[in-house]
Chains A and B, each alone.
Chain A
Amino acid sequence: MPLSKQITFLKNYKLNTLEDYKKSNTLSEFTELKKEFLLKDDQKNVKLIWCLETMYDIQYLYKQVWNELKKKNFYEAWCVLERCEIALKNLQKHKTHLFEQFGFSQILSLVLKLQNLYPYKLFMSPEILEKKVRCNICNSIVSMRNHCGHMIGEIYNGELCIRIVEDAEFLGVAMIEEPVQKYSVPFSKDEKTGKQIDQYNYQLLEYLLDHISNEFENWDVNNTTKKYSINYFKETNRNDKCPCGSGKKFKKCCLPKQEVEMPHIEFIFDNVEPGKAYTLLEIDGKRYKNA
């Protein structure tokens, strides 16, 4: 029966290794099956193949995310996370509930939670005037007067309909908090050497990686606050910014109160003692003693 072998591979996503995806012939087998269905103009099965191909890509990309995270290549992992998220969103509209057996919702959930642990808050967003845009399905120039009828995001002959920009004008760059292009993260530069510096603090991700054994292990995060005695902050001067993150001077904020209420993140793991907490200690680049 066609597809049974490939479906079995997809079902085994938790056990498949990154090497399995690299060596697997599954994608080329999907391509061949798609061609056979196209010859019969069996659009239903052609679309199904596209969905399965995309699910394969999602699983493979997610494995790559963890590979990069284990090597502490956090920005590289972020970029692959974005590609995985895009593939998930493309598939979301077209998949059936049967795709849960391939880990669709689980991977979507984990991708979103992982992205939430990253310290990136501002992104560079290009502003572009697209002057000539072509449909990838029929190759015609997009026109509102004589529209080709192919809708962006739909599947035609086993291909996702997108637009190809042939002529554009770059207008500018904006700094934004919620980007479409998540890879546009600003980095610092060493003034002397000119080399890029990764100035971000990845301690949340590092903590997560220290406490889970595989990429599909269940975990959760609770954003809360915790109060600490002022004694923990003996290195903080009165005129420094308050460790609570308010932006005010220490002497005008928590110093008179004799305790500091700080952002506190609790990780919840299935395999770790319940309620074990982790305190986010770095505010504005200063480190404080662990509680």
Chain B
Amino acid sequence: MKKELISIVSAIENKEYWLNKSFLDDDLRTKVIQADILLVPIENFRDTESFSFTHETENIYLYLQQNLPNEFKIEICVDDDFQVLALHADVKRMGIFLVSNVALPVILSLLASYIDRNYLSNLSPAPIANNTVINQQIIINTTINIESTENNIISINYEGPAEDFQKYMQSAVKEINASE
């Protein structure tokens, strides 16, 4: 059965949800409130009490900080206890983002340029092979949770080829806008 590359569902993890987490101190709570883009952790993987991030989070967070337009604020929902969830399937897990409606096109554009710069532009020309599947395809996984004005969360999850990310995400956003 062909796996769907993208899914759009409702979610409950809005900003209020994260602001109630005990690991946030007052200073960090203020930053989270002000953030247009929030990198949020994976909670309780395999029933452990944990808040962890993916391997790619570190580089992506730095990249977004350096390239985000000045009028937008980005924050990562973690204190000093930064833990990484290392899963060893060959998928680039870019993380989970909670974004405002206004910041959505910005984050999509920046993620697309990150993908292009760090994954696609580094690929050598594919080995010459007749019908041979030489797997140089890079698979990425990411979740973008969009906070709408009514405080509803629409969650878009993508897992598929890096080169198709922008196309599928644009399509998803169109579908969401059409249904509102």
Query: Which residues does A use to contact B, with CB under 8 Å?
Result: 92-93, 104-105, 108-110, 112-113, 116, 125-131, 133, 142-145, 147, 151-153, 165, 168-169, 171-172, 174, 176, 178-181, 184, 220-224, 268
13 interchain pairs, CB-CB under 8 A = A109-B128, A112-B134, A116-B133, A116-B134, A127-B87, A130-B84, A171-B46, A176-B89, A178-B139, A179-B90, A184-B88, A220-B128, A221-B130
Establish whether residues B46 and A172, one from each chain, have CB atoms under 8 Å apart when the complex forms. Answer: yes
Q: Which of A112, A142, A220 has the most CB of B within 10 A?
A: A112
Establish whether residues A92 and B124, one from each chain, have CB atoms under 8 Å apart when the complex forms. Answer: yes
Query: Which residues does B use to contact A, with CB under 8 Å?
Result: 45-46, 48, 50, 52, 57-59, 61-62, 76, 78-80, 82-91, 122-125, 127-136, 139
Q: In the complex, what's the smallest C-beta–C-beta distance from A246 to chain B, in angstroms?
A: 16
Measured between beta carbons, the chain A residues less than 8 angstroms from B88 are 125-127, 176, 179-181, 184
Measured between beta carbons, the chain A residues less than 8 angstroms from B136 are 112
Establish whether residues B82 and A143, one from each chain, have CB atoms under 8 Å apart when the complex forms. Answer: yes
Establish whether residues A220 and B48, one from each chain, have CB atoms under 8 Å apart when the complex forms. Answer: no
Establish whether residues A179 and B127, one from each chain, have CB atoms under 8 Å apart when the complex forms. Answer: no
Q: In the complex, what's the smallest C-beta–C-beta distance from B23 to chain A, in angstroms?
A: 13
Classify the interface of chain B: helix, strand, loop or mixed.
Answer: loop
**A221-B82 contact in complex given A125-B87, A129-B45, A144-B76, C-beta closer than 8 Å:** no
**A222-B124 contact in complex given A131-B83, A144-B61, A180-B88, C-beta closer than 8 Å:** no
Measured between beta carbons, the chain B residues less than 8 angstroms from A143 are 80, 82
Establish whether residues B122 and A92, one from each chain, have CB atoms under 8 Å apart when the complex forms. Answer: yes
Establish whether residues A178 and B130, one from each chain, have CB atoms under 8 Å apart when the complex forms. Answer: no
